[in-house]
Chains A and B, each alone.
Chain A
Amino acid sequence: DAGITQSPRHKVTETGTPVTLRCHQTENHRYMYWYRQDPGHGLRLIHYSYGVKDTDKGEVSDGYSVSRSKTEDFLLTLESATSSQTSVYFCAISESGWDSKYEQYFGPGTRLTVT
């Protein structure tokens, strides 16, 4: 199994509070991703990183920011949490590259509830 951990695994927070989710990998993979999973929507990409300090937006990036100061860590921040951000958040990693196979390996997920 790919070495990916997410913290916290569960969190309940109040509307308007900032929240930071952490993804940590031990695989030294270049690419890291944040997805959210909601019923009826599958997995949707929030942001991704293609290297230290290199990030880009995904499909549903509004209300989220990310940072990657080290290869192994990718942080997702909700600046001011809203109830619509209640979801399960997955981090994924990929070795990637021009001739990559695009396989992404996923962390265990973080269940976030915004009340």
Chain B
Amino acid sequence: AQKVTQVQTEISVVEKEDVTLDCVYETRDTTYYLFWYKQPPSGELVFLIRRNSFDEQNEISGRYSWNFQKSTSSFNFTITASQVVDSAVYFCALGVGGSEKLVFGKGMKLTVNP
């Protein structure tokens, strides 16, 4: 069975702080995909990134970076110099090869205060 755990449920930081959102996954499949989604207060779900199990390269996109480590089954997300607009609920999700379904973590609410 697949499982995604987001240990932190809520984090509050002050603007310009760096913040890391943790995601730990469980699967026995060797082919899988990991995702991060953002849900701002307006409610829509926005796709941020996808990583496949064969690519452990970390990725940086502007202030966002992702650290994928198969050895610890983790796919962590870091926001550098956080901004108020980063305030949202962030979801980590797992999809396995041969299945079209995603399993989501319970989400982590980030509040960035001015």
- Residues of A bordering B, CB below 8 Å: 31, 33, 35, 40-45, 48, 50, 58, 88, 90, 92, 94, 96, 100-106, 108-109
Chain B residues touching A, majority SS: strand
| CB < 8 Å neighbour of B43 from A33, A40, A50, A109 | A109
Residues on A with C-beta less than 8 A from B104 are: 35, 42-44
Asked whether B43 lies within 8 Å of A88 as measured between CB atoms, the reply is: yes
Q: Is the Cβ of A101 less than 8 Å from the Cβ of B33? A: yes
Q: Is the interface on chain B under 10, 10 to 19, 20 to 34, or 35 or more residues?
A: 10 to 19
**Complex contact B100–A31 (CB within 8 A):** yes
Q: Is B107 in contact with A42, judged by CB distance below 8 angstroms?
A: yes
The 7 listed contacts between A and B (C-beta, < 8 Å) are A42-B104, A43-B91, A101-B33, A105-B47, A106-B45, A109-B43, A109-B44
Q: Does B19 contact A (CB under 8 A)?
A: no
Task: Tell me the complex Cα distance, A42–B3, Å.
Answer: 12
- Contacts from B to A (Cβ < 8 Å): 33, 35, 37, 43-45, 47, 50, 52, 91, 95, 100-102, 104-107
C-alpha gap A88/B106 in the complex (Å) = 14
Select from chain A the residue with minimum beta-carbon distance to B44: A108
Closest partner residue, chain B, to A98 (CB atom): B98
Q: List chain B residues, Cβ under 8 A from A109.
A: 43-44
B106 A104 Cβ-Cβ under 8 A: no
B102 touching A41 by the CB < 8 A rule? no
Nearest chain A CB to B110 CB, angstrom units: 15
